[in-house]
Amino acid sequence: MTFQLADRLSRISEPQTIKMAKLGRELKAQGIDIVDLSIGEPDFDTPVHIRDAAKKAMDEGYTHYTPVAGYADLRAAVAQKFKRDNGLDYTPEQIVVSTGAKQSIANAVLSVVDPADEVVIPTPYWVTYSELVKLCQGEVVFVACSAENNYKITPEQLEAAITPKTKLFMFSSPCNPTGSVYSREELEGLAKVFLKHPQVYIMSDEIYEYINYTGPHESIAQFPELKDRVIIINGLSKGFAMTGWRLGFSASALPLAKAFDKIQSQFTSATSSISQRAAVTALTGDLLTAKAMVAEFRKRRDFIAAGLASIPGLKVNEPEGAFYMFPNVSAFFGKSFEGDTIRNADDLCMFLLHKAHVSTVTGGAFGAPECIRLSYATGMDKLEKGVARMKEWLGKLV
Ligand code: PMP
């Protein structure tokens, strides 16, 4: 029997990140010792006081449907977080809590992108952005950012990419996959361009806000003339090690927040009541565990950056945030091992997985086919092993 699925399925692809994690798990199940550097989540456990809040919530009967955009006190706590961390004023009504930042991004794209609208995405970019635009039949306009500019878009590039049909600009800072962080001056340069084009909304994905080694975190919403057009995406997955809890949120102008609430009310409704109670505890508490985690990530970054730089052929970038390295691997293209030639980053990832038993993600997934992404959100022992194996096996390519 053939299954007649909707056309939209053929427009989008499964994230390579999830595909690599699946492949790695399959090899592990066969007893192979895989060093998994493909994962995009902190290896730390959720802090105890947040877990305790969830247990208490269950016992206190927080087990029912909640308002679609989240409990009122949680939305107030999120608004307070924006004031505390970013100096931004939002009312609780401007906050929509969701089932993870990914859903907040979907709410935003579904709310503003019509068929044939253009959406500008600087590359490298996070995998989901383009796929959501395609689901809405929007036109993705990729802008290739150079390694020399640490993979950040320049005002000139932005200006050249915007047309009267441009509806949305999507980016992350700190960036997944490059770890690049936009400074206030860099954001100001972009803000000046956006001010000339009032039809463009800006989706600013700040999910890695706390995982920043240069600090302080800057948001493009901090430019008052632009604030009403900025949709900030954030959540608890990365900074509080809460990926499994599914807790994201957006902050935006009220008409946008109402649109997100409406979209979400027909898709998922609210996220889990228990996660929401835990989130109030996370957001109203201190950031000590986040800071401890970042200190550890910084040590690992320094280690893996030096380790990768010692491997001939890898061109290593300098991430200032998030927990990824994004080296250029094009020096290996055209080289071979036992008759098999590495044509591109996809081939190199497969070579590393099957020969070195190190799982990474091809840069092709992020719009940068000359790079690969390695996550250092894993123990130092694994990083040591991973770098040593990569060095050994990449050295065999001739
Ligand atoms: N944005 C970026 C840039 C991410 O890396 C991720 C997670 N990998 C998300 C959004 C989604 O986060 P969440 O788990 O909150 O859905």
This model of the complex carries an ipTM of 0.99
Pocket test for ligand 1, best of 128, 237, 246, 366 (most atoms within 8 A of CB): 237
Which ligand 1 atom is the nearest neighbour of the CA of 235?
15
Contacts 24+ apart (CB under 8 A), 338-346: 342/397, 344/369, 345/369, 345/370, 345/371, 345/372
pLDDT at 278 over 90: yes
The CA-CA-CA angle for residues 294, 206, 320, to 5°, reads 45
Q: What is the 86 CA–ligand 1 centroid distance (Å)?
A: 20
**What is the per-residue pLDDT across 149-184, written as a single tens digit (0 to 9) for each?**
999 999 999 999 999 999 999 999 999 999 999 999
Q: Round to whole Å and give the CA distance between 85 and 184.
A: 15
Residue-range domains of the chain with CATH: 8-45+289-394 (3.90.1150.10), 64-284 (3.40.640.10)
Cis peptide, bond prior to residue 164, ω within 30 of zero: no
Contact yes or no for 326/314 (Cβ under 8 A)? no
**What is the per-residue pLDDT across 226-255, written as a single tens digit (0 to 9) for each?**
999 999 999 999 999 999 999 999 999 999
Q: Round to whole Å and give the CA distance between 168 and 119.
A: 5
For position 199, what pLDDT does the model report? 97
Binding site membership of 256 for ligand 1 (Cβ less than 6 Å): no
Binding site membership of 373 for ligand 1 (Cβ less than 6 Å): no
How would residue 102 be classed by pLDDT, with cut points 50, 70 and 90? very high
Q: What is the pairing mode between strands 324-325 and 336-337?
A: unpaired
Q: How far is CA 128 from CA 143, 197, 263, in A?
A: 16, 25, 18
Binding site membership of 275 for ligand 1 (Cβ less than 6 Å): no
Binding site membership of 124 for ligand 1 (Cβ less than 6 Å): no
With a pLDDT cut of 70, the percent of the chain lying above it is 100
Residue whose CA is closest, atom 3 of ligand 1? 176
Binding site membership of 294 for ligand 1 (Cβ less than 6 Å): no
Q: How far is CA 241 from CA 20, 201, 210, 211, in A?
A: 21, 29, 11, 11
Q: Which segment of 28-32, 57-61, 192-196 scores lowest on mean pLDDT?
A: 28-32
| Helices 48-59 & 273-284 angle (0-180, nearest 10) | 140
For position 21, what pLDDT does the model report? 83
Binding site membership of 40 for ligand 1 (Cβ less than 6 Å): yes
Q: What is the 41 CA–ligand 1 centroid distance (Å)?
A: 9
Q: Round to whole Å and give the CA distance between 245 and 235.
A: 10
**What are the b/e assignments for 379-389, b being 16+ CB within 10 Å?**
eeebbebbbeb
Contact yes or no for 196/225 (Cβ under 8 A)? no
Task: Give the sheet arrangement for strand 324-325, strand by strand.
Answer: 324-325, 372-375, 361-362
Average pLDDT over residues 36-45: 91
Helices H / strands E in the chain, number of each: 13, 14
Binding site membership of 205 for ligand 1 (Cβ less than 6 Å): yes
Q: Round to whole Å and give the CA distance between 295 and 44.
A: 13
Q: What is the 60 CA–ligand 1 centroid distance (Å)?
A: 30
Q: What is the 208 CA–ligand 1 centroid distance (Å)?
A: 8
Q: What is the 206 CA–ligand 1 centroid distance (Å)?
A: 9
Give the contacts of 338 (CB within 8 A, at least 6 positions apart): none
pLDDT at 259 over 90: yes
The CA-CA-CA angle for residues 355, 356, 361, to 5°, reads 100
Residue whose CA is closest, atom 5 of ligand 1? 176
**What is the per-residue pLDDT across 288-313, written as a single tens digit (0 to 9) for each?**
988 999 999 999 999 999 999 999 99
Pocket test for ligand 1, best of 19, 97, 176, 264 (most atoms within 8 A of CB): 176
Q: How far is CA 152 from CA 143, 189, 206, in A?
A: 10, 12, 15
Taking the model in full, what pTM does it have? 0.97
- In single-letter form, the type of residue at position 25 comes to R
**What is the per-residue pLDDT across 350-374, written as a single tens digit (0 to 9) for each?**
999 999 999 999 999 999 999 999 9
Residue whose CA is closest, atom 8 of ligand 1? 40
**What is the per-residue pLDDT across 4-34, written as a single tens digit (0 to 9) for each?**
999 999 888 888 888 888 898 899 999 999 9
Give the contacts of 7 (CB within 8 A, at least 6 positions apart): none
Contact yes or no for 135/114 (Cβ under 8 A)? no
Which ligand 1 atom is the nearest neighbour of the CA of 322?
5
Distance, C-alpha 260 to centroid of its chain: 20
Average pLDDT over residues 129-141: 97
Average pLDDT over residues 187-201: 98
Q: What is the 66 CA–ligand 1 centroid distance (Å)?
A: 23
Contact yes or no for 230/221 (Cβ under 8 A)? yes
For position 17, what pLDDT does the model report? 81
Which ligand 1 atom is the nearest neighbour of the CA of 101?
15
Mean pLDDT for all residues in the chain: 96
Q: How many CB atoms lie within 10 A of CB 50?
A: 24
**What is the per-residue pLDDT across 314-363, written as a single tens digit (0 to 9) for each?**
999 989 999 999 999 999 999 999 999 999 999 999 999 999 999 999 99
